[in-house]
Amino acid sequence: MLINSPQTVVADALRGMAAAHPELDVDVERRVVVRRDARSGGRVGVVSGGGSGHEPLHAGFVGYGMLSAACPGEVFTSPVPDQMVRAAAAVDSGQGVLFVVKNYTGDVLNFEMAAELAEEDGLRIERVLVDDDVAVTDSLFTAGRRGTGATLFVEKIAGAAAEEGAPLERVAALARRVDACSRSFGVALSACTTPAKGSPTFDLPDGELELGIGIHGEPGRERRPMMSAREIAEVAVGAVLEELAQIGPADGPVLALVNGMGATPLLELYGFHAEVARVLAERGVPVARALVGNYVTSLDMAGCSVTLCRADEELLRLWDAPVRTAALRWGL
């Protein structure tokens, strides 16, 4: 691995982010990344965080039109409440703060505790839980559906609403709507390797793949012999659309994210997106916007996930709104 040591990998990455992005205030010791102008303009603050190893989630999405701050934990480990309270205080301009929380037990408990502590300090806090993964319920890391690719949709749209000056209750309602309208499914072609362990997190023999994996390297719900991109798209998109059908309309437009898990090149991801687009077209689902790349990763895992969000005109407008972060930028 291209690291100094497993013990310093997160701190070293944060030092590198600080050197590369002077527009961010990166507190390496206290593990908080803040947009330097977070308090200007009287905006609602939008704060998220989670274990490291999923980059660019979350720190890569701090900036104009998206997150006000992010709290990186150790690899695949939740940040602690003190980080979240510190982040909330750093971005609060008197309009309140929204916590965006992926549905993993550690994240949920720590963000809940942080919200209570921040409210005791006089801050107004709203929390939104992201639980979009259709593959597995009650996994090793969570009770209920896991939070995966839809986190990007929630952070982008909530951040755009906050940038426009929407009040806290409205920003939170939009974030909850995005989560409710989003579903994801992931596939692994190889397991990931954590710096501390130095070996794959689960055994996946050559010539096999894992359907329904999570972003912490946990195995999925089914193992099969290697499949073509066409076949994988049929399974993944089919599983997502099966649940989205409960939301409707069945022929409504979607935001589509084809997300790499960290070690899959864009050549393969774009080829896979072609198959995803084909399946959606065959099923009469128009793709209003598409995003392809590595955004919610699992260290060096080879594979991908598909996230679809039923999007009306308001959500599309907020998705299209300008954004300027380390990992996502357009319109400026």
The shares of helix, strand and coil residues in the chain, as percent rounded to the nearest 5, are 35, 25, 40
| CA 98/CA 133 separation, integer angstroms | 22
DSSP class of 190: S
Write down the catalytic residue from 21, 54, 58, 273. Answer: 54
| CA 77/CA 113 separation, integer angstroms | 16
Residues 6 or more apart whose CB falls under 8 angstroms from that of 35 comprise 23, 24, 25, 62, 63, 64, 67, 68, 69, 91
Count of CB atoms situated within 10 Å of the CB of 27: 16
Q: Comparing C-alpha atoms, which of 133, 114, 148 is closest to residue 45?
A: 114
Strand 69-75 and strand 45-52: the pairing is parallel
The H-or-E segment that residue 65 falls in is none
Q: Rounded to whole angstroms, what are the CA distances from 232 to 65, 86, 212? A: 34, 42, 11
CB-based contact 45:162 (threshold 8 Å): yes
Cα dihedral 263, 130, 176, 68, rounded to 10, equals: -70
Write down the catalytic residue from 21, 58, 216, 273. Answer: 216
Strand partners, 182: 309
Q: Comparing C-alpha atoms, which of 220, 218, 150, 152 is closest to residue 184?
A: 150
Helices 313-320, 168-180: crossing angle, 10 deg rounding: 110
DSSP class of 28: T
Decide if 54 is catalytic: yes
Task: Tell me the two tokens of residue 139.
Answer: 């996994």
Decide if 273 is catalytic: no
Active site residues: 54, 216
